[in-house]
Amino acid sequence: MIKHTLTAAALAVVLATPAFAQQDKPINKSDTTQSMPTQSTADHASFVQTQHATDWRGSKLMGATIYGPDNASIGNVNDVLVDNTGKIRAVVIGVGGFLGVGEKDVAVPFDALNISRKPESSSIDKITVSFSKDDLKNAPKFAYYEQTKSQTTGSSTNDKLNSIDPMSNSNK
């Protein structure tokens, strides 16, 4: 028991040491080598300070069940796609399968979702779409972006070395 306590205390000291090293030193007025810290030019009005009633938290969307027009569960939100302007473009819904096996991802435009909030709560009550389970099963499978690998030029390392070597016959 004591061994575990001492080990935990030693670990806490080791982990806290970098934090102490990063603390600012008090500025001595007679020390002219240190400059006074400058005030940030960021305007507090440019930061979002509260969530509006119409805002949805991504953590609440992820894993949420999606219901079709017949009130039957048709899948769960697996991912959220955000475009480069910050707008939510779509949600990726896992459709079909059992416990994730055989599941197909389908991307549905975010504005196709009807999200309702639980009364007096920040939690989602229900997410519905106008698509049926069959509509989503027949929808095209969503593919995540994958960067293509660059193709090589076909030149070998020896070719490159010979082109640099001044004694090589290939430079003459």
- Residue 18 belongs to a domain: no
- Residue 29 belongs to a domain: no
Mean pLDDT value of segment 145-167? 61
Mean pLDDT value of segment 25-35? 51
| pLDDT bucket at 9, cuts 50 / 70 / 90 | very low
Q: Is pLDDT at 102 greater than 70 in this prediction?
A: yes
Q: Which domain holds residue 131?
A: 58-138
| pLDDT bucket at 156, cuts 50 / 70 / 90 | low
- In this prediction, residue 122 carries a pLDDT of 80
- Residue 12 belongs to a domain: no
Rounded CA gap, 65 and 128, in Å?
9
Q: Which residue has the tokens 């082109």?
A: 163
| DSSP result, 100-169 | TBT-EEEEEEGGG-EEEEPTTSSSEEEEE-S--HHHHHHSPPP----PPPPPP-S--HHHHHHHH-TTSG
Report the mean per-residue pLDDT for the chain.
74
- Residue 71 belongs to a domain: yes
- Residue 154 belongs to a domain: no
Closest by CA position to 136, among listed 89, 94, 82, 88 = 94
- In this prediction, residue 111 carries a pLDDT of 94
- In this prediction, residue 96 carries a pLDDT of 83
Query: Which CATH number fits the domain that encloses residue 115?
Result: 2.30.30.240
- Domain total in the chain: 1
Closest by CA position to 126, among listed 77, 161, 53 = 77
Three-class SS of residue 30? coil
- Residue 75 belongs to a domain: yes
Two structure tokens written together for 156: 């070998």
- Residue 113 belongs to a domain: yes
- Residue 2 belongs to a domain: no
